[in-house]
Amino acid sequence: MAQAEKMEKKSSLMNVLEIDGVPLPVISKEIWARVCHFQARPDDLILATYPKSGTTWIHEILDMIHNVGDVEKCQRATSTDRHPFIELTFTHKEKLDLDWAIEMPSPRMLKTHLPSHLIPPSIWKQNCKIIYVARNPKDCLVSFYHFHRMTSMLPDPQSLEKFLEKFMAGNVVCGSWYDHVKGWWAAKDKHQILYLFYEDVKKNPKREIHKMLEFLGKTLSEEVIDKIVYHTSFDVMKQNPMANQTALPSHIFDHSISNFMRKGMPGDWKNHFTVAMNETFDKHYKKMMAGTTLTFCTEI
Ligand code: A3P
């Protein structure tokens, strides 16, 4: 696609509208009333994340758990075509993920990037199990920055410095990282929520898979768990076209700019942040996270 055409496409999709002070993509805004009335079922499993926190990774692990480690079954379709988002739809799709979710037989796995206070109320009412994955903000920010560069669904991030300002102000799609991670952290005391950290899964995937199994009330043999650890490792997933997002049209994800499966490594922010950026960020972080028991690990 010619550069001018690409930029036009980017600018036509970059409109982000707010719901309750949270910037969301236009598609979410257009279907917002339907999202609010979405009918959850008691056996739904919800995977909730702030963007770039490991959604695709944990989705792969959960799909493998559901399919008892059957690799072929997990390669039945691309990650985006296996389980729907509630409020989002990738722009190349003809059908809304929301409609797909509504028609889907139980048990469903549904994904969402919504902050806890915007979740469809029936999810709370039905007491659905929710797995929340949080990632340290510095790596999340760097990953989000590169994602903005490679996808036509989001505005041009300009520079990392500019993006850092927007991220700190919560002026990015899905809003403030701080509100997201803190909101879900508070929600876990009242609802069936397993709160996981990207860095913990990276450090000890087997232990974290055991946590997921216990939360889901499932058991798998150690052999199957080892298989899941192997097939969902960064290097193996990066080679898997059903998981690495390369099957999406290049006008949606341009892998020549940046891979979706980019680094997958806690601490990559150190290759991007200047000393000044780091100081600014740390100061802001301290203020925003004062009073919370939630802590993050920025390297392993
Ligand atoms: P990086 O850009 O830092 O590499 P999401 O799926 O929420 O959009 O998150 C994408 C981030 O998760 C990317 O981070 C991607 O590389 C990383 N990721 C995907 N699969 C992974 C895996 N198996 N192990 C570690 N990180 C993974």
| 263 Cα: distance to centroid of ligand 1 (angstroms) | 7
Strand stretches in 177-267, DSSP E: 193-197
Q: Is the CB of 262 under 6 A from ligand 1?
A: yes
Q: Is the CB of 56 under 6 A from ligand 1?
A: yes
Q: Which of 80, 60, 97, 113 is nearest to 229 (CA)?
A: 60
Q: Is the CB of 152 under 6 A from ligand 1?
A: no
Q: pLDDT value at position 259?
A: 96
Side chain identity, residue 94: E
Atom of ligand 1 nearest to the CA of 237: 23
- Please choose from 52, 114, 138 the residue to mutate so as to test ligand 1's pocket, defined by most ligand atoms within 8 A of CB: 52
CA distances (Å), origin 272, targets 135, 138, 165: 17, 10, 14
Q: pLDDT value at position 29?
A: 81
Q: Are 181 and 113 contacting, i.e. CB atoms less than 8 angstroms apart?
A: no
Taking the C-alpha atoms of residue 86 and residue 174, their distance in angstroms, rounded to an integer, is: 13
Q: pLDDT value at position 17?
A: 80
Give the pLDDT confidence of 230-258 residue by residue, as tens digits: 999 999 999 999 999 999 999 999 999 99
Q: Which of 86, 80, 71 is nearest to 36 (CA)?
A: 86
Taking the C-alpha atoms of residue 206 and residue 186, their distance in angstroms, rounded to an integer, is: 26
By CB neighbour count within 10 A (0-12 exposed, 13-18 middle, 19+ buried), where does 78 fall? middle
Taking 50 as the pLDDT cut, the residues of the chain under it are 1-14
Q: pLDDT value at position 9?
A: 42
Q: pLDDT value at position 5?
A: 44
Taking the C-alpha atoms of residue 135 and residue 181, their distance in angstroms, rounded to an integer, is: 9
Which residue minimizes the CA distance to atom 12 of ligand 1? Answer: 54
Q: pLDDT value at position 26?
A: 84
- Please choose from 262, 298, 300 the residue to mutate so as to test ligand 1's pocket, defined by most ligand atoms within 8 A of CB: 262
Which residue minimizes the CA distance to atom 27 of ligand 1? Answer: 264
Q: pLDDT value at position 12?
A: 40
| 0.85 exceeded by pTM | yes
Q: Which sequence positions are flagged as catalytic?
A: 113
| 265 Cα: distance to centroid of ligand 1 (angstroms) | 8
Give the pLDDT confidence of 52-69 residue by residue, as tens digits: 999 999 999 999 999 999
Give the pLDDT confidence of 183-206 residue by residue, as tens digits: 999 999 999 999 999 999 999 999
Half-sphere exposure of 38 (CA within 13 A, CB side): 29
Please name the helix (run of DSSP H) or strand (run of DSSP E) that holds residue 131, with its range, or none: strand 129-134
Q: pLDDT value at position 175?
A: 96
Q: Could you tell me the domains of the chain? A: 3-288 (3.40.50.300)
Q: Is the peptide bond before 23 cis (omega within 30 degrees of 0)?
A: no
Q: Which of 236, 234, 239, 227 is nearest to 265 (CA)?
A: 234
Sort strands 109-112 and 129-134 into parallel, antiparallel or unpaired. Answer: unpaired
Q: pLDDT value at position 15?
A: 60
| Buried/exposed code over 142-168 (b: 16+ C-beta within 10 A; e: otherwise) | bbbbbbbbbbbbbbebeebeebbebbb
